[in-house]
Amino acid sequence: MTTEIAKVSQFKTIGDELIVSMTGEIIEIQKELELKYNVSLIPEDLTDKDNYKLVQSAVRDIKNPRIALEKNRKEISAVPFNLCKKINAAAKPIMESLVSLETAWKAAKVEFDEKVEQEKLAIAKAEQDRLDAITAKIEEIKALPFGAMNKSSEEIAVILEGVKANYPEEWGSDYIVAAKDTVAMTIERLENLLSGKKAQEELERQQKAEAERLEAERIAAEKKADEERAEQARQNQIEADRLAKLQADIDRKQKEAEAEQKRMDAVTDRIKSIDSIPARNIGKSISFLRDLVVELKDSGFDWAGRYANEAQETTNKTIESLESIVAEKEAQEEAEHKVKTEADKLAAERAAMQKEKDEREEAAKAEAEAKAKAEREEQERKDAEARTLLALREREKADRENAELQEARVSETVAAMCDCVAILEEDAIEIINEIIAGNIPHVTFGA
């Protein structure tokens, strides 16, 4: 029993020596740190680089002995548990003092770091807003050609001058290359659009002038046809008047030769019939009138007897009248055919011109749609890259927050382990008491 008690006494002595060994040097360091880094010495203005370095140095100098003490405490706590209680009791005030001192200095550092971080975030946001404004202006300039497609050449020229007066060096900043390229591309597209619009307007002007010319020619042709029809009507009236006068002469001669006429009724009737052929058949077709002429030329005059000369003369006049009517009818038909042919030609030319115009407009529309599609795809690619960059930034922020959370969890785990050691210490006291009482005679302690 005496030997066992001696061992316990020796164990206690070793424990006291270990406590002194563990805390002696750190107590001196603690006193030096409390003097060197008194809470009242924490500077308020951490924007000063020297002050900030002082706070960093203080946190580091206070943290190192605290960590060393904690490490020694854990190592010594692994020896017999009654010694662990003394070690914890001796370390606790030192730890509390160091933690309090470290917390005060660290709080100042954390507060300043958070303030600096907020300022950095504000600066970053302002910078991002500035860059967003530049990209928005680039997109606005890029969209100008599409908005000007339906405008007149004068309006497009005004827009072009506005773009040329927009100098990227004054606002392009970080995107100066993209800004210059966009302005140059926009100027080129507007110039091409202006050139095309001027050509289109000139073509429309020419088409309008051509349509007006064709309309004038059509009106002139109709007027000429009307004049020709009027002339034909006048000629017909003259012929009718001539025939009427001729008929009057015949009637007069018939009265004068009434007695002779009675003897030659058949002859005179036939002569009259021949003479009235033009008047009776003036509305007939040209082929019918030509057949009459052939028939009259082929007929003889034996039937006229002494009126043969008169019959021949009448027949010749009738032939002349019929030929005159045929010629007038042919001239009229030819004139009407010319008018119809000219009208058909004008209609065909108008249809060809309209078709050509429709094909040019369709080609221009297809080209504009292809360009718009290519530009939309390029913009979608840029938007995807921007979203990827934003996701990377958010991931980095989440990683930092996870690291801080992991550090807090480690601190909580250390505290929980200390609590477990304290419980084990109480169990160890009971074991030692059992040893002293002799209930456990054979116990060997580790070094």
Q: What is the mean pLDDT of residues 346-361?
A: 80
Do 228 and 355 share a domain, yes or no? yes
- Whether 417 is in a domain gets the answer no
Do 200 and 118 share a domain, yes or no? no
Entry pTM: 0.28
Sequence-distant (≥ 6) Cβ neighbours of residue 16 within 8 angstroms:
86
- Whether 411 is in a domain gets the answer no
Do 188 and 283 share a domain, yes or no? no
Do 59 and 166 share a domain, yes or no? no
**Average pLDDT value over all residues in the chain:** 79
- Whether 436 is in a domain gets the answer no
Of the three residues 118, 134, 150, the one that is the final residue of a domain is 134
- Whether 152 is in a domain gets the answer yes
Per-residue pLDDT tens digits for 323-342: 889 898 888 888 888 878 88
317 vs 155: which has the higher pLDDT = 317
Cα 161 to the center of its chain, rounded Å: 23
Cα 12 to the center of its chain, rounded Å: 85
Q: Are 68 and 25 in contact (CB under 8 A)?
A: no
| Counted domains in the chain | 3
* pLDDT reading at 158 higher than 50: yes
Per-residue pLDDT tens digits for 285-301: 888 888 888 888 888 78
- Distance, in Å, from the CA atom of 406 to the CA atom of 402, rounded to the nearest integer, reads 6
- Whether 238 is in a domain gets the answer yes
Of the three residues 134, 157, 175, the one that is the final residue of a domain is 134
Backbone angles phi, psi at 283, to 5 degrees: -90, 0
- Whether 45 is in a domain gets the answer yes
Do 146 and 269 share a domain, yes or no? no
Q: What is the maximum span of the chain, computed from C-alpha positions, in angstroms?
A: 203
Do 165 and 226 share a domain, yes or no? no
Q: What is the mean pLDDT of residues 247-258?
A: 81
pLDDT score recorded for residue 429? 61
- Distance, in Å, from the CA atom of 220 to the CA atom of 222, rounded to the nearest integer, reads 5
Do 225 and 341 share a domain, yes or no? yes
Sign of torsion, CA 133 139 145 150?
Answer: negative
339: tokens are 């008018």
pLDDT score recorded for residue 52? 92
Q: Are 186 and 141 in contact (CB under 8 A)?
A: yes
* pLDDT reading at 11 higher than 60: no
Do 128 and 161 share a domain, yes or no? no
* pLDDT reading at 93 higher than 50: yes
Do 246 and 358 share a domain, yes or no? yes
Q: What is the mean pLDDT of residues 116-122?
A: 86
- Whether 396 is in a domain gets the answer no
pLDDT score recorded for residue 442? 43
Do 47 and 130 share a domain, yes or no? yes
Do 282 and 322 share a domain, yes or no? yes
Do 224 and 372 share a domain, yes or no? yes
Domain membership of residue 117 as a residue range:
1-134
Q: Are 321 and 281 in contact (CB under 8 A)?
A: no
* Residue reference for tokens 């018939």: 254
- Whether 234 is in a domain gets the answer yes
